Amino acid sequence: QVQLQESGPGLMKPSETLSLTCTVSGFSVRSHYFWGWIRQPPGKGLQWIGSVYPGGTTHYDESVESRAIVSADTANNQFSLRLTSLTAADTAVYYCARQVTNLYYFDAWGQGTLVTVSS
């Protein structure tokens, strides 16, 4: 049974760069799936950030495309999100999830990690 677990800093300062890692267990990230990041600001809805295929193909939401990089580390069965130039608007719970290739849905999710951007 696939399990995903996010890890990373809980508190960041404006203008800093956020790095989050999702560790996958019970399933190989080399498999025929995309691996994605979704965030949820406090009290608000879900926002897709971007997804990566193990071969290196990536896709991003246009609103964060210039600041986000999603990458896969198949050796460690992990994938990561890097988000630059943080502002308070980036404060959110960040979820990692498995995305079924070509069908655009997420069938397994991590529990989420809260990232607060504050000076």
Could you give the CA distance from residue 42 to residue 18 in angstroms, rounded to a whole number? 18
> Using the rule CB under 8 A, is 119 a contact of another protein?
no
SS3 43: coil
In order of 46, 69, 82, 108, the CA distances from 66 in angstroms are 19, 9, 11, 27
Please, which residue, 19 or 47, has the CB nearer to another protein? Answer: 47
Query: Using CB under 8 A as the criterion, what x/- string covers residues 26-65 for binding another protein?
Result: ------------x------xxxx----------xxxx---
SS3 86: coil
- Of 11-19, 20-28, 74-82, 97-105, which part binds another protein (CB under 8 A)? 97-105
Query: Using CB under 8 A as the criterion, what x/- string covers residues 62-81 for binding another protein?
Result: x-------------------
Could you give the CA distance from residue 83 to residue 45 in angstroms, rounded to a whole number? 19
Q: Contact residues for another protein (CB under 8 A)?
A: 38, 45-48, 59-62, 95, 100, 103-107, 109-112
